[in-house]
Amino acid sequence: MIVNENGLLVEKDALDQMASEGEALHGVGSSNTQAEAHLEEEESAIDFTHFQKADYVELAKELAKSDNYKRTDTLVKEMKPLFDAIRNGERKTALDRYIAEGGIAEDFEYRADEFDHQFDATLKLIRDKRQAHFKLLEDQKNASLHKKAEILEKLRTLVDGEDSPHAFHQFKELQKEWKNSGPVPVAHIKTMWANYNALVDRFYDHRNIYFELKELDRRKNLETKKELCVRAEKLAELNAIQEAVRELNELHNEFKHVGPVPTEEQEALWQRFKAASDAVYAKRDAFVVNLQQEFSKNLALKEAIGEELNTFLSFTSDRIKDWNEKTKQILELQKKWDAVGSVQRAKQKDINKKFWSAFKLFFHNKSVFFKKLDEERAKNLKLKEEIVAKALALKESTDWEKTSNELKVLQTQWKEVGPVPEKWRDKIYVQFKEACDFFFEQRRGLQKQADQEQEVNLVKKEEIIRQLQELTANKGVTIAEVQNLRSQFNALGFVPKHAMASIKSRFTEVANKAIASIENLSDQDKTQASLEIEISALRDDPQSDRKLFQREQTIRKQIAKAENDIGVLENNLTFFERSKNASQMKEEYGNKIKEATAHLKDLKKQLKMLQQPTETLAKTNS
């Protein structure tokens, strides 16, 4: 026996046994550690791109229930900095707001929310659970080490003792205890297995009487290991590489725990098992290579999408339609991004950060635009509320013409004011429309009543015209009757607009005919009576002021012209008075002056009649 580097006794020839089985198996397993770890990392990878604080809390709670501590450690190391980044961003935002509101940075105290407390508490729970788990494993390994040391002592006593009929049975029981005793600390694995294998070989070598049992046991072990080789060879046919690798590791563990085989079969059997393992690992390596190629292709696609996204960062517009169109294009890029598979873990964080930073910047710019738009719409809402208030104040008015014009002005102002927030658009419009509709409905109701009255007035005026026509036809009309019927005609008020001009024209025409038919009335009186009817018609016109003014201006121009003509004629007459042979010309110019003077007098009389109130005019004529 020799003493190893840990100070433990090692049976002679132990190193040979370890080289043939233990070290060989260990070498195969360790040669694939890196690839297996890579596969496990890819399987446990989670895309944290869209994670919010609530998502991190839920994931942490899920990990707290898991017994896969390796996956839990990987995910915790990855997600804690991301959660802290969100928390630090919120803290900075709160600090900026606090300073903007007049606070001092030194007085600022950040209050963590419920998600922060839950996340920190859950991580502490995971750490405590992990420490407890690994402490338990370490305690179990130490207990297994103590148990295996006891088994080795029992085995050594059995090997060094005398042969007995029960020795082989005791030996097999000790082997079972050894297998079931569990793993030991890594530092003692090599020494423990070396001692165990050496004592097993010594047991068989020193018990010649049980040689046949030894060979039989080794043959049995040979069949068991051949079955393990067959199972390992079939694993190469599986398409699920990860599952095949896991099952192969379990086969390696079983292969190690099966006892020794005949020496002549040992090397060939191991090479067969190793070849089956190498086939699985080669397939696994090819899968990893293909996976890396796919990752590189995905990286190129995501970089191209990221470059396309960067073109949106300088976009600006004052139209909602343009922003919505760009948003649709951005979301299509997001769908393309999501459709692309994973990339190398080392590149994933950087490529995701670039894409989502650009993505968030676009929507930040969009948010700024809509914030400004909301402010403008809020101002528009205030303006429209003021217009509604004015409309409500006018809706009960009975000053129809003035209020109608004011409401039309408000309607024009309403159209000029821009849009309001969507939630208030229908409500504010309905309020304004109801106020306007109420007023115009009231006005239409009154107008309908007025229209009916005007129809009655039209019928009455037509009856007056008929009466005047009958009097004229019977040659019994007098100037007093004409004036009386004219007064009745004017007193009736308005008629429908479409008949206004025609009914006045007809009355004037019939009245002039009636006056002309009066035999004992001079031409001058007839002219004056006709003029009175004309002036009366003008005064009854809706636009009487304008038309009377125009008629007055026309008469004044005629008076000025007549006066000028008389002046010219008188001047010419004075010239002819100096001539001895111009008596005929003087008489002709004298007649013209008389006619012009009579016309001037008539014009002045018309002007005087036009300027007199209706009551004075009627009184003068009577």
pTM for the whole structure: 0.40
pLDDT for res 543 = 61
Q: pLDDT tier at 447 (50, 70, 90 boundaries)?
A: low
The secondary structure of residue 180, as a DSSP letter, is H
10: part of which helix (H) or strand (E)?
strand 9-10
pLDDT for res 568 = 79
Q: Give yes or no for residue 281 having a pLDDT over 80.
A: yes
CB 419 within 8 A of CB 384: no
In sequence order, what are the residues at sequence separation of 6 or more whose Cβ sits closer than 8 angstroms to the Cβ of residue 240? none
CA separation for the pair 448, 451 (Å, rounded) = 5
pLDDT for res 514 = 77
Q: In this structure, which amino acid lies at residue 315?
A: F
In sequence order, what are the residues at sequence separation of 6 or more whose Cβ sits closer than 8 angstroms to the Cβ of residue 526? 515, 516, 518
Q: Specify the higher pLDDT residue, 474 or 163.
A: 474
The token duo for 548 is: 């009377």
Residue of 285, 286, 194, 273 whose CA lies nearest to 28: 273
Q: Give yes or no for residue 188 having a pLDDT over 60.
A: yes
CA distances from 298 to 284, 336, 373 (A): 21, 11, 39
Q: Give yes or no for residue 289 having a pLDDT over 90.
A: no
DSSP string spanning 133-176?
HHHHHHHHHHHHHHHHHHHHHHHHHHHHS---TTHHHHHHHHHH
* CA atoms 304, 310, 316, 319: torsion sign: positive
CA distances from 527 to 374, 522, 524, 532, 608 (A): 75, 9, 5, 9, 15
Instruction: Quick: pLDDT tens for 357-382.
Output: 988 998 888 888 888 888 888 899 99
CA distances from 239 to 54, 243, 272, 289 (A): 37, 9, 21, 15
3-state SS assignment for residue 3: strand
The token duo for 357 is: 């930073």
Please give the span between the terminal C-alpha atoms of the chain, in angstroms, as a whole number: 164
Section 512-523 average pLDDT: 73
Own/partner pairs for 245-251, CB < 8 Å, 24+ apart?
A: 245/32, 245/36, 245/39, 245/280, 245/281, 245/284, 248/277, 248/280, 249/29, 249/36
Instruction: Quick: pLDDT tens for 478-504.
Output: 777 777 877 787 777 777 878 878 878
- Which of 22-26, 219-223, 531-535, 569-573 is predicted with the least confidence, judged by mean pLDDT? 22-26
In sequence order, what are the residues at sequence separation of 6 or more whose Cβ sits closer than 8 angstroms to the Cβ of residue 118? 57, 60, 61
Residue of 334, 337, 341 whose CA lies nearest to 303: 337
Q: pLDDT tier at 523 (50, 70, 90 boundaries)?
A: low
CB 473 within 8 A of CB 491: no
pLDDT for res 7 = 35
pLDDT for res 109 = 85
Q: pLDDT tier at 16 (50, 70, 90 boundaries)?
A: very low
Instruction: Quick: pLDDT tens for 544-571.
Output: 667 667 777 887 888 888 778 888 777 7
CA separation for the pair 293, 616 (Å, rounded) = 113
pLDDT for res 569 = 75
Instruction: Quick: pLDDT tens for 89-104.
Output: 888 888 888 888 888 8
CA distances from 371 to 95, 313, 378 (A): 22, 18, 10
Q: Give yes or no for residue 332 having a pLDDT over 80.
A: yes
Q: Give yes or no for residue 227 having a pLDDT over 60.
A: yes
CA separation for the pair 348, 337 (Å, rounded) = 13
In percent, the amount of the chain with pLDDT more than 90 equals 9
Mean pLDDT, the chain, rounded, equals: 79
- Which of 31-40, 103-112, 239-248, 478-487 is predicted with the least confidence, judged by mean pLDDT? 31-40
